[in-house]
Structure 1
Amino acid sequence: MSQRQTLAAAITALSALALFAALLYLVGPERIFSGKEPGASDRRRTPPFVRKGDTVFIPDGSPYRSHIVVAPAELRNVSLSRVVPGTVEADPARTVRVLAPVNGRVSELNVELGDNVKKGQPLATIDSGDLAQAIADAEKARAAARLTKSALDRATGLNKAGGLAMRDLEQAQNDYLQATSELKRAEARLEVIGDNSKLTGQRKITLNAPIDGTITALDTAPGDFIDNTTAPMMTISNLDRVWVTASVREKDLSFVKKEERVEVSLVAYPDKKFPGKVEIISQLLEADTRRNKVRIAFDNPNGIFKLNMFATVRFFSPPSKRVVVPPSALMMVNDESSVFVEVAPWTFKRKPVEPETDIEGLTVVSGLNAGQKIVVRGGILLND
């Protein structure tokens, strides 16, 4: 073979190799070596879903069909509920604020915060100059009443004997009336001071417990000077019966009816429910929080309910027909809940709903009609 023929054969081989490399790049080795026509596998490949406007279609052959379950929304007779925060409070009708009847210094304090006391038990002793003044005023009034009574008796006798003018008799009668009025005022003052108290001398007074209960507030100490008789020294509350006060949002007031049942849970006893009923619904809505105070009374003989305990209160509405769906049917997008409704065979459309509460493994929703077919499982595949 001549040199020219050898060169021509080499050029032909290189051209063939370059053409084969171009085919590999453009078509792919799997199509060349398999003998399949380019594009055949692409035509057999089925998309998992197809979007058509605001609907999603699952075509025949899509792997999604085996993962998506459709069922109708159910209508059930349910009682909705609302859970709101609450606190344990003393019954105002069983609470007494102990006031000092006179100004003075606390010379002795017999109780501490949280102590249980019995009616008539000594609470504190006050050394008071006002008390000494009140006793002195009463003694002077008694003396004046005795003196004017004697003068009136003499004037009456002299007038009958004709030895005293009528004007003088009337003056004696007026003096006696004024003296007796002053005596009544001074004695009434002592009675007020001695109410729930015991006068133990010219200057000292002992305050006694007006009811059985617990010292729930203490605002004094030995040596403290009392100069405001309208400020309570301490507060006594009978905790045999207490209030649980719930703060109900304005939009949930439709759930609150007087005498309706409620369930109360305490943080201290999370596994225990305390059944009760609504007794008082405040007529005043708090302007700053837009909440309403609702009170439930509980007997508390064993002291389970303690003041200022945190509680949760569940209110129930009367039973009614409501639409329920499985929780798995609910999808979240931008903090909004929705479900996928079947508008045609294997064609779904997102529909916003509002979950209200969970009951027996189902979720009560509004915005959906009973019987509408929805995706109850596998909706996450469409939720993008």
Structure 2
Amino acid sequence: MRAFRFLLRSVRIVMMLLRPPLSLRVLRTSFFLVAFGAGYGLAGSAAWAVSGIVHEKDGSLSVPEASPLRGQLEITPLKMTAPRDTLSVPGSIVAEPSRVIPIFTPVTGRVASVSVVPGQHVRRGQELLTVLSGDMAQASTDETKARAGLVQARAAMERAQEVKQAGGAATKDVEAARAALQQAEAEDRRAQARLASLSDKTQADGTLVFRAPVDGVVGSVSTAPGVNVTDITAPLMSMEDLAEVWAVADIPEADVDDIHVGQSVAITLPARDGLVFPGQIATIEPDLHLETRRLRAMIPLPNPDEDLKPNMFANVAIQLRQPAGLMVPQSALLMNNDRVTVFVETFPWVFQRRVVTISYDEGEDTEVLSGLKVGDRVVTRGGVLLNDD
């Protein structure tokens, strides 16, 4: 009851402060409660504060001199920002995807030896690993059968043609013999190719030797001596040609419209004492990463000495040459009926709501495309207290 009586007295005070000559104004009084309690109860002490907002006929709001709101509002004149020349984003060094070579085995078998370790430099033709397999003998048998089948198919084709010429065979018999011959030829080619691929890698004892296809670095090794290989679709190891690498820049969602192929960049590597590498964006992924909400842009970098290592951290500065813009603190933006608005001071302590169109965020500020101009005095703190529609 004491709090209720206090509230009534406060209303009377506000009415006295706002009586004529404000009689033509429509009075609307807002009450703000600041409560202090312990836990989830309301048993603690409470303090009440009352402030008034006057709604003018033209739709603007005025804050009377006696209103405590005056101490809670911060008003800032807008200025043009300097042109934004660069966008700095984090990045990293990765191996160029087309230069990462997986090493597969064409046959099942048992790994006999692994001659390299991750990170080791190897030369083209250097031994990587060996696999013991009985598939070489099977490939030789398959090739022999395919060759014999081809001989039989050719003989059958010749007989069919001779019988037809003598008038004793139908055209369909010749066509069937021709189809069988074509199938036999295809099978023979397949068997020969498989045997040849294994013969290039196979020693006299049937051991398959896998050699480095290019000069490079061993990336990953996923097998070991004694392992039985049953899945020929899984790579046993990988090689990386690091003569050229990629710097990958992670572009925030708000800046993706400013990024395009061909833009110049400057890449700084903390691990290389801040050495700067120039480059250009070569490709941009079409989709943002779901977790980071960032877009990846790739910049090729020559790396003849292999000083740039995959997974090194990088700072990427992208040249934008973006014109000067009108920026407003994000704290000034208020949602009203699904529109972005701000409060502008049109006369001392008289405010009007403006609908604005915004573009991108930069730190705590947002670029405004329309609705405001340089010099407008915008409520940048406490605007939510006026946002009582």
TM-score range, shorter chain: 0.5 to 0.7
Structure 1 residue 115 corresponds to structure 2 residue 120? yes
Q: Identity percentage over the alignment?
A: 30
- Determine helix, strand or coil for the equivalent of 1:97: strand
Letter in 1 for 2:291: D
Letter in 1 for 2:240: S
Moved more, 172-181 or 241-250: 172-181
Task: Measure how far apart 1:246 and its partner are.
Answer: 1.9
- How many Å separate the matches in 2 of 1:182 and 1:355? 64
Provide TM-score, normalisation by structure 2.
0.58
**Counterpart selection for 1:230 from 233, 238, 249:** 233
Provide TM-score, normalisation by structure 1.
0.58
- How many Å separate the matches in 2 of 1:270 and 1:288? 31
- How many Å separate the matches in 1 of 2:67 and 2:121? 73
Instruction: Name the CA shift for 1:81/1:176 in 2 (closer, same or farther; >3 Å).
Output: closer
Q: Which aligned pairs between 1:1-384 and structure 2 lie closer than 5 A?
A: 54=70, 75=80, 78-142=83-147, 180-193=185-198, 197-201=200-204, 203-322=206-325, 356=362, 370=374
CA deviation vs aligned residue, 1:61-83 (integer Å, no higher than 9, x gap): xxxxxxxxxxx987575234332
Letter in 2 for 1:263: A
Letter in 2 for 1:183: D
Q: Is the 8 A contact 2:264 2:278 kept in 1?
A: yes
Instruction: Name the CA shift for 1:150/1:201 in 2 (closer, same or farther; >3 Å).
Output: farther
Q: Is the 8 A contact 1:255 1:315 kept in 2?
A: no
CA deviation vs aligned residue, 1:115-134 (integer Å, no higher than 9, x gap): 12222222211110122211
- Determine helix, strand or coil for the equivalent of 2:286: strand
Aligned counterpart, 1:379: none
The two structures, once aligned, show a CA RMSD in angstroms of 4.9
Q: Is the 8 A contact 1:144 1:179 kept in 2?
A: yes
Number of residue pairs aligned between Structure 1 and Structure 2: 284
CA deviation vs aligned residue, 1:148-191 (integer Å, no higher than 9, x gap): 879999x79x99xx9xx979x98999987776554323112223
Q: Is the 8 A contact 1:84 1:248 kept in 2?
A: yes
Letter in 2 for 1:212: D
- How many Å separate the matches in 1 of 2:362 and 2:146? 74
CA deviation vs aligned residue, 1:222-250 (integer Å, no higher than 9, x gap): 22211110000111111111111122221
Task: Measure how far apart 1:364 and its partner are.
Answer: 8.9
- How many Å separate the matches in 1 of 2:323 and 2:181? 79
Q: Which has the larger radius of gyration?
A: 1
Instruction: Name the CA shift for 1:319/1:181 in 2 (closer, same or farther; >3 Å).
Output: closer
- How many Å separate the matches in 1 of 2:273 and 2:78? 34
- How many Å separate the matches in 1 of 2:138 and 2:275? 58
Instruction: Name the CA shift for 1:172/1:250 in 2 (closer, same or farther; >3 Å).
Output: closer
Letter in 1 for 2:318: F
Q: Is the 8 A contact 2:100 2:241 kept in 1?
A: yes
Task: Measure how far apart 1:262 and its partner are.
Answer: 1.8
Letter in 1 for 2:96: D
Unaligned runs of 5+ in 1: 1-49, 57-71, 325-329, 334-340, 345-353, 358-362, 374-384
- How many Å separate the matches in 2 of 1:118 and 1:212? 4
Aligned counterpart, 2:25: none
